[in-house]
Amino acid sequence: MPTYEYICNKCNNKFSITGSFGTLLSMVAMCPVCKDSDVKKVIFSPAVIYKGKGFYTTDQRGNENEMF
> Could you tell me the residue ranges of all domains in the chain?
1-62
Asked if 49 contacts 24 with a C-beta cutoff of 8 angstroms, the reply is no
Higher pLDDT, 44 or 6: 6
Which pLDDT belongs to residue 29?
A: 87
Which pLDDT belongs to residue 7?
A: 95
- Is the pLDDT reported for residue 67 higher than 90? no
Residues 6+ away with beta carbon under 8 Å from 53: 59, 60, 61, 62, 68
Which pLDDT belongs to residue 35?
A: 93
pLDDT, tens digit, 9 for 90 and up, residues 7-66: 999 999 999 988 777 776 677 889 999 999 999 989 877 777 766 665 565 655 555 555
CATH architecture, range 1-62: Single Sheet (2.20)
